[in-house]
A and B are shown apart, each in its own frame.
Chain A
Amino acid sequence: MLHKEQNLETVLSEYKKEQGSLIPVLQRAQAIDGYLSKPVMSRVAGELGLYESDVYGVATFYTQFRFAPLGENIVKVCHGTACHVSGAEEISDSLCNHLKVEEGETTADGKFTTERVVCLGCCSLAPVVMVNEETYGRLTSDKVKKVLDKY
């Protein structure tokens, strides 16, 4: 904990009061814990002379930022055009019901984090889900549950 805090302080000291430095600061702050917590964002706001609501607003505008710790495994559900027409919505629903989370959330046991992405670059396999670095294609609502069982 102490170590991480020091890291945030280093990041902040580098950018202190520099105009327009919010995004790089948030990126580096996120790199410390893997997500942006409330205390981290308040510190960032205080240090850069911004309001907390501004910082939170900017952070939530970009999909690259997360506000809860990541699970052990990241499940990315593709919602690109090809996957969308092949039923990505159903895959998402089935996955979320199975894991009892909303899209973008982490399961209670911390095992999975779901994420919505666009086009993973293998449209011929649509609908596609990627778990960590592994890609699974031609999925159905049932098959996707089986995929998860492997983890």
Chain B
Amino acid sequence: MITLTIDGREIQVEEGATILQAAEKMGIRIPTLCHDRRLLPVGACRICLVEVENPRPGLVPACATLVAEGLVIKTATDKVKKVRKTILELLLINHPLDCPVCDKAGECSLQDLTYEYGVSENRFSGKKAALRIDVVSPLIERNLNRCILCGKCVRICDELMDVAETGFIGRGYEARVGTDFDRPLDCEFCGQCLDICPVGALTSRLFKHRGRVWELEKVETTCAYCGLGCAFTLGVKRGKILKARGADSSSINDENLCVRGHFGWGYIHHPERLTKPLLKKEGRLVAVSWKEALHEAVRRFRQIKEKVGPDALAGIGSPRLTNEEVYLFQRFIRAGLGTNNIDHAGGYGHAGLSALKDSLGYPGTVKNLQDSDCILLLRSDLSETHPVAGIKVNLAVKRGRAALIVANPYPIKFSRHAKQSLIYRPGNEIALLNGMVRVMIEENLINREFVNTSTSGFDAMSKVAAAYTPDKVKELTGVEPAAVIEAARTYARAERPAIVISAGYAPLGEDDRLVQAAINLALITGNPEGIAYLVERNNSSGAFWMGAVPSLLPGRQPLKNKGEFEEVWGAALPGKEGMSALDIFNEQSVIRGLYLVGENPLAACPDPVRTRQVLEELELLVVQDLFLTEVAAMADIVFPAAGFAEKEGTYTNTEGRVQEIKPALTPVGEARPDLDIISELSRLMGHEMSYSSAAEVRAEIKKLVPDFEQAKAFEGKGKLVGIEQRDVVEEISKDYPLILMDGGLRFHSGSLSRYSSALTGVSPEARVEMSSLDAKSNEIEGGRQVKVRSRYGETLLQVAVNDRLPQGRVLIRRYPKSGLMNLLPQPEFKDGRYEGKICTVKVVKA
């Protein structure tokens, strides 16, 4: 600890802190322009100058000067004030002073400081800049005449995003921030630069001339796209969201946001939002009253229940719903309808969560990622799937010099910084991990003590791993033996290694096995807290934990524990295990009435033809959603639901953190929060539910699920389980010569993003990526339309030639309407579980 004096008061701070940090700790404000907590200090603008009295008198920039023992500082002397004022005058020489029309007004540091320091006239004069305003780049407007060259946008784009879209161009008085050859932005559109800009040089097109900052009501809530659950603040004016900004330095995102969080919420105001309940009459959906729609649903649920029995009914919820909604939904299905036929469509994709729960006791953590000294990025194209977690990887690697091992079936953005890039044969992750485990055991790189005290199952596990010799791993994965050995050593020798896996990629249904194989690696080296399993949707974790699964009650309690639930719910519960989403859409489906809440199986399940057939044969289809999705259009009854900004509740993020969402708007039209709809339906069905708020539902959940807030860290007991690599890739033949890989896309997530014009506006058209060699041998040119055909279906796409892609593989990202699901096989039911396959395809000219 170091003791120094600031403005007459003593303070103790840690070594390595800056004067600015010390002052902040004491609540003393020092103005800054080029400084941001998240960036490395550069000390460029000098507005933060403070006076040193001892030891060597003079002025120093507070943001870039480290504290020293005995330092005596004054932050607001006349001298300091005068210098700050001069700096402002110099900045204002070429600043346009168009504050009345500038969208930053109200949160512009330059304007605020000019006012604070009373700069009313300028002793200096010079040419005002006359740069062309960038009106072409999407989402972000750049008016560099207002730029004060603080460099924060350049640095955040480089240091955190690792995009480096812009840089300083030219020099001296002419220096400016821009892209090469002044082209429009063509980047990740995270909007980080826009939020960090202290002036109006970078502003949001979505906010342009829509209001003034001080008119906005600020609502702190949680992003509803991916499983990270970034904290953000919405700016709302007259019932419209105009802005979002990363919030809360204590949350997972540390104020950062990706393009979806920053710009993707516009779907909530989409003109096609459902505003009234709909009922199918004479083959057409017509608007009806809530009363009519609800009564009709209840009448027909009852009819089926009485005629065929409760197990002819089923419900599928969505990992987009809040915990409270998922909980009530499963309660309604179980106690109201009387069946355990309940699931959420993404469920089998997130089976990794159960492995974490069962073998590690907590859901993994992202928190430590940034401080890791070695990161194994396994099947995780983070800049596309979880961009904010990608920031942590960038920081660990670029700032912390962590050794990065990228293991992915195709090169990704992070590959450029990788110590090792292991491109393996799709679907063979487990072989790779087992291979690494074997090397570690062979070379005695494991933490015996930890294995002995904190794990079980080592011997059986190592027996399985022993078979994965470097040569066998090479045969399965294509990765060279030396590379596997090196990766194992790098990981094992690191002090704080981390493994990152993103959930829900092919082969579907394998994630629990994959995650267990990764847990083995983490546990034998004694690193139970270095594992991050990143789920896809905002509440994938919650849906899993709140019992939207056929075999488990809330809190993952087995059906045989139903007594306690029966007591609280006041109803008898079915004891027979229910059907999963995959069973429901199976050929032998016996479901007659289906209730879908926020889920579109036509877009989310493989083999849409089969799925459609099942849906068409239903006697009753009730859909509850924000939009008339493809599946809602087929429904008999449609309930209009409220979106994330129109309701209250909680989401559980990928780390198991329970985070609140707060209503920023009233629901559009007659739309209602899912919570209301479900409880009313249940009441009419004869199963009483009455809650006045989400908090009340939460209180009930906590009674039944004591660990509603799941364990946040390893609690001392881990399980090692040997996992064999299955053969998951379909046969490669002349008819289907290419392996199909599916990938994430940062501009989209599920089905809501396609109603966000901001996101669709910057997202490329759906494409299939091919290596140039494969393109050549198939006589296909980039940009052309092609047919991608698998054994199950086909889809029409544009080709993008990607030179970095390995030969023999094609990549389709999850664009809306990519037709990816048409190509994928239905997982097969084998030995009591569904097993997905990675399919092979052929690409032919359209």
A53 and B180 form a contact (CB under 8 A) = yes
Residues in chain A near residue B165, CB distance under 8 A: 53
Q: Which residue of B lies closest to A41 (CB)?
A: B180
Q: Which residue of A lies closest to B158 (CB)?
A: A51
B171 and A56 form a contact (CB under 8 A) = no
B181 and A57 form a contact (CB under 8 A) = no
Residues in chain A near residue B168, CB distance under 8 A: 57, 61
Interface string of B131-174 (1 = CB under 8 A from A): 00000000000000000000000100010000011111111000
Whether, in the assembled complex, B179 has its beta carbon less than 8 Å from a beta carbon of chain A, the answer is yes
Interface string of A49-68 (1 = CB under 8 A from B): 10111111100110000010
Q: Contacts A49-B416, A51-B158, A54-B164 given; indicate if A67 touches B181 (C-beta within 8 A).
A: yes
A-B contact pairs, 18 of them (CB 8 A): A38-B180, A51-B158, A51-B167, A52-B164, A52-B180, A53-B165, A53-B167, A53-B180, A54-B167, A55-B180, A56-B167, A56-B179, A56-B180, A57-B167, A57-B169, A60-B171, A61-B171, A67-B181
Interface centre among A38, A49, A51 (most CB of B within 10 A): A51
A53 and B171 form a contact (CB under 8 A) = no
Q: Contacts A60-B169, A60-B170, A61-B170 given; indicate if A53 touches B416 (C-beta within 8 A).
A: no
A53 and B179 form a contact (CB under 8 A) = yes
Residues in chain B near residue A55, CB distance under 8 A: 180
Q: Which residue of B lies closest to A49 (CB)?
A: B416
Interface residues in B293-344 (C-beta closer than 8 Å to A) = none
Residues in chain A near residue B166, CB distance under 8 A: 53
Q: Closest approach, in angstroms, between the C-beta of A13 and any C-beta of chain B?
A: 19
Interface residues in A41-86 (C-beta closer than 8 Å to B) = 41, 49, 51-57, 60-61, 67
Interface centre among A49, A52, A60, A67 (most CB of B within 10 A): A60
* Bound complex: CA A27 to CA B180 (Å): 18
Residues in chain A near residue B181, CB distance under 8 A: 38, 56, 67
Interface residues in A21-54 (C-beta closer than 8 Å to B) = 38, 41, 49, 51-54
Query: How many A residues have CB within 8 A of the partner chain?
Result: 13
Interface centre among A53, A55, A56 (most CB of B within 10 A): A53
Q: Which residue of B lies closest to A58 (CB)?
A: B167
Residues in chain B near residue A54, CB distance under 8 A: 164, 167
* Bound complex: CA A38 to CA B179 (Å): 11
Q: Which residue of A lies closest to B168 (CB)?
A: A57
Known: A41-B180, A51-B164. 20 other contacts (CB 8 A): A38-B180, A38-B181, A51-B158, A51-B167, A53-B154, A53-B165, A53-B167, A53-B179, A53-B180, A54-B167, A55-B180, A56-B169, A56-B179, A56-B180, A57-B169, A60-B169, A60-B170, A60-B171, A61-B168, A61-B170
Residues in chain B near residue A61, CB distance under 8 A: 168, 170-171
Which residues of B are at the interface with A, using a C-beta cutoff of 8 A? 154, 158, 164-171, 179-181, 416
Which residues of A are at the interface with B, using a C-beta cutoff of 8 A? 38, 41, 49, 51-57, 60-61, 67
* Bound complex: CA A61 to CA B175 (Å): 8
* Bound complex: CA A38 to CA B168 (Å): 17
Residues in chain B near residue A52, CB distance under 8 A: 164, 180
* Bound complex: CA A41 to CA B181 (Å): 10
Residues in chain B near residue A38, CB distance under 8 A: 180-181
* Bound complex: CA A11 to CA B482 (Å): 33
Q: Which residue of A lies closest to B163 (CB)?
A: A51
Interface centre among B154, B165, B168 (most CB of A within 10 A): B168
* Bound complex: CA A51 to CA B162 (Å): 9
Residues in chain B near residue A51, CB distance under 8 A: 158, 164, 167
Q: Which residue of B lies closest to A56 (CB)?
A: B180
Q: Closest approach, in angstroms, between the C-beta of B804 and any C-beta of chain A?
A: 11
Q: Closest approach, in angstroms, between the C-beta of B184 and any C-beta of chain A?
A: 14
* Bound complex: CA A57 to CA B164 (Å): 11
* Bound complex: CA A38 to CA B416 (Å): 21
Q: Which residue of B lies closest to A54 (CB)?
A: B167
Q: Closest approach, in angstroms, between the C-beta of A57 and any C-beta of chain B?
A: 4
Residues in chain A near residue B167, CB distance under 8 A: 51, 53-54, 56-57
Q: Which residue of B lies closest to A61 (CB)?
A: B171
Q: Which residue of A lies closest to B157 (CB)?
A: A53
Contact of B164 among A41, A49, A53, A67 (CB under 8 A): A53
Residues in chain B near residue A60, CB distance under 8 A: 169-171
* Bound complex: CA A38 to CA B180 (Å): 8
3 nearest A-B pairs in the assembled complex, by CB-CB distance: A53-B167, A57-B167, A51-B164
Q: Which residue of B lies closest to A45 (CB)?
A: B180
Residues in chain B near residue A53, CB distance under 8 A: 154, 164-167, 179-180
Q: Closest approach, in angstroms, between the C-beta of A90 and any C-beta of chain B?
A: 16
* Bound complex: CA A127 to CA B300 (Å): 94
Q: Which residue of A lies closest to B179 (CB)?
A: A53
* Bound complex: CA A41 to CA B180 (Å): 9
Q: Which residue of B lies closest to A38 (CB)?
A: B181
Interface centre among A52, A56, A61, A67 (most CB of B within 10 A): A56
Residues in chain A near residue B164, CB distance under 8 A: 51-54
Residues in chain A near residue B169, CB distance under 8 A: 56-57, 60
Residues in chain A near residue B180, CB distance under 8 A: 38, 41, 52-53, 55-56
* Bound complex: CA A56 to CA B181 (Å): 8
Residues in chain A near residue B179, CB distance under 8 A: 53, 56
* Bound complex: CA A144 to CA B313 (Å): 90
Residues in chain A near residue B416, CB distance under 8 A: 49
Q: Which residue of A lies closest to B417 (CB)?
A: A49
Q: Which residue of A lies closest to B154 (CB)?
A: A53
* Bound complex: CA A52 to CA B179 (Å): 9
Residues in chain B near residue A67, CB distance under 8 A: 181
* Bound complex: CA A41 to CA B169 (Å): 14
Q: Which residue of B lies closest to A68 (CB)?
A: B181
Q: Closest approach, in angstroms, between the C-beta of A30 and any C-beta of chain B?
A: 15
Q: Which residue of A lies closest to B172 (CB)?
A: A61
Residues in chain A near residue B154, CB distance under 8 A: 53
Q: Closest approach, in angstroms, between the C-beta of B162 and any C-beta of chain A?
A: 9
* Bound complex: CA A55 to CA B164 (Å): 11
* Bound complex: CA A60 to CA B181 (Å): 10
Q: Which residue of B lies closest to A62 (CB)?
A: B171
Q: Closest approach, in angstroms, between the C-beta of B362 and any C-beta of chain A?
A: 38
Q: Which residue of A lies closest to B180 (CB)?
A: A56
Q: Which residue of A lies closest to B171 (CB)?
A: A61
* Bound complex: CA A62 to CA B259 (Å): 35
Residues in chain B near residue A57, CB distance under 8 A: 167-169
Q: Which residue of A lies closest to B162 (CB)?
A: A51
* Bound complex: CA A61 to CA B168 (Å): 9
Q: Closest approach, in angstroms, between the C-beta of A34 and any C-beta of chain B?
A: 17
Q: Closest approach, in angstroms, between the C-beta of A47 and any C-beta of chain B?
A: 13
Q: Closest approach, in angstroms, between the C-beta of A11 and any C-beta of chain B?
A: 19
Q: Closest approach, in angstroms, between the C-beta of B783 and any C-beta of chain A?
A: 18
Q: Which residue of A lies closest to B166 (CB)?
A: A53
* Bound complex: CA A41 to CA B179 (Å): 13
Q: Closest approach, in angstroms, between the C-beta of A62 and any C-beta of chain B?
A: 8
Q: Closest approach, in angstroms, between the C-beta of A104 and any C-beta of chain B?
A: 10
Residues in chain B near residue A56, CB distance under 8 A: 167, 169, 179-181
* Bound complex: CA A49 to CA B165 (Å): 15
Q: Closest approach, in angstroms, between the C-beta of B155 and any C-beta of chain A?
A: 12
Residues in chain A near residue B170, CB distance under 8 A: 60-61
* Bound complex: CA A57 to CA B165 (Å): 11
Q: Closest approach, in angstroms, between the C-beta of A56 and any C-beta of chain B?
A: 4
Q: Which residue of B lies closest to A51 (CB)?
A: B164
Residues in chain B near residue A49, CB distance under 8 A: 416
* Bound complex: CA A61 to CA B167 (Å): 11
Interface centre among A55, A57, A61 (most CB of B within 10 A): A57
* Bound complex: CA A49 to CA B416 (Å): 8
Q: Which residue of B lies closest to A50 (CB)?
A: B164
* Bound complex: CA A56 to CA B169 (Å): 7
Q: Closest approach, in angstroms, between the C-beta of A25 and any C-beta of chain B?
A: 16
* Bound complex: CA A55 to CA B169 (Å): 10
Q: Which residue of A lies closest to B181 (CB)?
A: A38
* Bound complex: CA A54 to CA B168 (Å): 8
Q: Which residue of A lies closest to B170 (CB)?
A: A60
* Bound complex: CA A67 to CA B169 (Å): 12
